[in-house]
Amino acid sequence: MSFLRRDILKAGAALSATAMLPSNLWGQSAFAPQPAGWRTFEIAVKIEIREASGRTQAWVPLPSVNEKDWFRTIGSEWNTNGDAERVREQKYGAEMLHVQWGDTERVPVLEVKSRISVRDRATDLSKPGPIPDLPAAEQGLYLEGTELVPVDGIVKETSDRIVASSRTDVEKAHAIYEWIVENTFRDGAARGCGTGNIASMLRSGYLGGKCADLNALFVGLARAAGIPARDIYGIRVAPSRFGYKSLGTGSETITKAQHCRAEVFLTGFGWVPADPADVRKVALEEPPTNLAMNDPKVDGARKALFGSWETNWLAYNFANDVTLPGSGGQRIGFLMYPQAETGGALLDALDADNFKYTILSKELTAA
């Protein structure tokens, strides 16, 4: 734990020099997303269950986010040789397609096509406005702990130390963002997007992971500081238009391009985008790889990703602790991958080659 406390103090000292968030923090850089025209994409998911045995089911996340400034869900359609039902999870409003096949079906097949429209986001954090408060029900939802993201114990203790010298919720959220960028790292060996078990990360002092770990840590620390925050689970759908190889797709096949992001609700600004995990991804993966934190590419991402996003990305949902209907109570931490079970056994959603599923992205219009 001394390792963790030492890094908290280091981040706090670095933050104190810029505690008032000087305006040049939001200045132009090579990576500077701004709201402009809308782009429309079609995402196609195809599932073929190999070696089906007995009753077989699948659950496919459907885009179910509608945010007027940056994301529009247009609709989904599907074809299958099973019985399909669109299901809406009640707590967070996450939607999924639930498909069931009979015991005699040996080749279960499902194809889903979804269309979305997106545009980039940017918040000028030097100019608060008359933004309505978050409704009480939503505030409660996005302040409470979840199974993987508790807001008490070591999470609360860590958050309190990080924000001790901060006054406003903007300063607190930025302090947490900077602490994560300084003290965590992207662990390329982590499976998928990581597990998101933030209390375990803090207790062990091992602060490596991927987006579902590092952005969940941002969300948990923000909630513990009294700031509503949420993960948004999705998938990258296009290359970065700012030239970042690590922050976009390399082809139309996006089967393994899942990525979750985070938002915090800040007084005077509303929901503000953040993505400290992608800063660490740039540092590890952006060519020529293993970049120093003061490298211009890393610095550009660091400045941009508290307050803005390049939305070459699909947002599925905000849901945590998701129960898969019809699965006998099976619950997963988040719904970002296709899920399936056959013969009562849940298949490995991170093993797309053996599961077997593919996800393709096609841009239909571009601004």
* pLDDT given at position 13: 38
Within a domain: 126: no
CATH assignment at residue 323: 2.60.40
* pLDDT given at position 58: 96
Question: What is the per-residue pLDDT across 24-59, written as a single tens digit (0 to 9) for each?
Answer: 333 334 799 999 999 999 999 999 998 888 889 999
* pLDDT given at position 345: 87
Within a domain: 194: no
Question: What is the per-residue pLDDT across 184-219, written as a single tens digit (0 to 9) for each?
Answer: 999 999 999 999 999 999 999 999 999 999 999 999
How does residue 366 score in pLDDT terms, banded at 50, 70 and 90? low
Within a domain: 88: yes
How does residue 14 score in pLDDT terms, banded at 50, 70 and 90? very low
Within a domain: 5: no
* pLDDT of 321 above 50: yes
| Residue range(s) defining the domain that contains residue 73 | 39-118+318-365
On average, the pLDDT of the chain sits at 91
Within a domain: 330: yes
* pLDDT given at position 2: 37
- The three-state (H, E, C) secondary structure of the chain, written as one string: CHHHHHHHHHHHHHHHCCCCCCHHHHCCCCCCCCCCCCEEEEEEEEEECCCCCCCEEEEEEECCCCECCCEEEEEEEEEECCEEEEEECCCCCCEEEEEEECCCCCCCEEEEEEEEEECCEECCCCCCCCCCCCCHHHHHHCCCCCCCCCCCHHHHHHHHHHCCCCCCHHHHHHHHHHHHHHHCEECCCCCCCCCCCHHHHHHHCCCEECHHHHHHHHHHHHHHCCCCEEEEEEEECCCCCCCCHHHCCCCCECCCCEEEEEEEEECCCEEEEECHHHHHHHHHHCCCCCCCCCCHHHHHHHHHCECEECCCEEEEECCCCEECCCCCCCEECCCCCCEEEECCEECCCCCHHHHCEEEEEEEEECC
Within a domain: 173: no
- Look at the chain and report how many structural domains it folds into: 1
Within a domain: 46: yes
Question: What is the per-residue pLDDT across 146-187, written as a single tens digit (0 to 9) for each?
Answer: 999 999 999 999 999 999 999 999 999 999 999 999 999 999
Within a domain: 295: no
